[in-house]
Amino acid sequence: MKAMICSDFITMKNSLGQLLILNVLIAVIITVFSNSVLAGTAALAVMIPFMYVLSIAAYDDMNGWQCFRLTLPLSRRQVVAGRYASTIIVFVACALIALIYAFVFMGVCSLLPDGAVAEELLFANNPVETIIATVGMTLFIALVVSAITLPLMLRFGMTKATRVIPVVLVLLLAGAIYLAGEMGIEDQLAWMLVTNGGELVFFTPSLQLALLGADVAALVLFVLSSLIAMQWYAARQF
């Protein structure tokens, strides 16, 4: 599996560097123009993971690389396990980078003279737990979406998967909305939400706890997804 992880990172080495620089710039632009550290942080935490998942799958399809990879001393299970491992490494690294970005950005803002930047960009208006919860939420989204898309990409290849994935995602989303309505999920989640003078207050302790639970659930889903992907990949004909 280590060899597969290494293979993925060798493949993506140059692209990851470029993606990081590009996405930090985008995060700065989003933060400055939306006056929201959370928005920039979330964008940074989620964009690179999605780009990584798509790019590495695209590289698999180029030049017959994934066929050739099967001739290397890697089993098909190791290929899948390595791909999931490299993905989760990128996700966690991006979450950490996003956290560092948020604190560095606010640190730089706090060094500037009063009034030079908007109040919303300072530490006082962005508690640490809120930033962590934001990154946790993006991690949840990245894990769930990749848990759905990775098996399809490994089973069908990137070219065919681009036709299958949108259909699957739309069906799952429609199903989830229907189920949520049937189960009265809004009422069940009401205990997590606190309002202040009619305005919703995000990231209350209850919601943070729920987010942590959601991240754990997403991680379990990700692991289950890897098991399905192993089954599918084992049967794939190249």
Partner 1 sequence: MQPLIKINNLIKSYKGFQLGPVDLEVDAGTIVGLVGSNGAGKTTLIKSLLGMISPDSGTMSMLGKPIQQIDDIDADLKNKIGVVLDTSAFTQESRVRDVALLGRWVFSNWDTRYFQQLMDRFGLAADKKVTDLSRGMGMKLSLAFALAHHPRLLILDEATAGLDPLARDEVLDMLRDFMAEGELPGEAAVVSVAQEPRAILLSSHITSDLEKIADRIVCIDDGRKVFEADKETICNIAGVARCKSDQVERVIAVLTDALDDPSSLRVVEGKYSTDLLVPDRFAFAQAFPEIPVEPVSLDDYLALTLKGEQL
Q: Is residue 80 within 8 Å of 154, Cβ to Cβ?
A: yes
Q: Which of 116, 187, 195, 237 lies at the binding interface for partner 1 (CB under 8 A)?
A: 237
Nearer to partner 1, 4 or 46 (CB): 4
Half-sphere exposure (CA, 13 Å, Cβ side) for 81? 8
Distance in Å, CB of 59 to partner 1, minimum: 5
- 31 near partner 1 (CB under 8 A): no
In whole angstroms, what is the distance from residue 83 CA to residue 88 CA? 9
SS3 73: coil
In whole angstroms, what is the distance from residue 10 CA to residue 109 CA? 36
Nearer to partner 1, 59 or 123 (CB): 59
Handedness of CA 199, 205, 210, 215 (dihedral sign): positive
Distance in Å, CB of 236 to partner 1, minimum: 9
Write out the binding residues for partner 1, residues 165-204 only, by CB under 8 A.
none
Q: Report which DSSP code applies to 36.
A: -
Q: Which of 1, 50, 76, 157 lies at the binding interface for partner 1 (CB under 8 A)?
A: 76
Nearer to partner 1, 2 or 116 (CB): 2
Binding site for partner 1 (CB under 8 A): 2-3, 6-7, 10-11, 13-15, 59, 62-65, 67-77, 234, 237-238
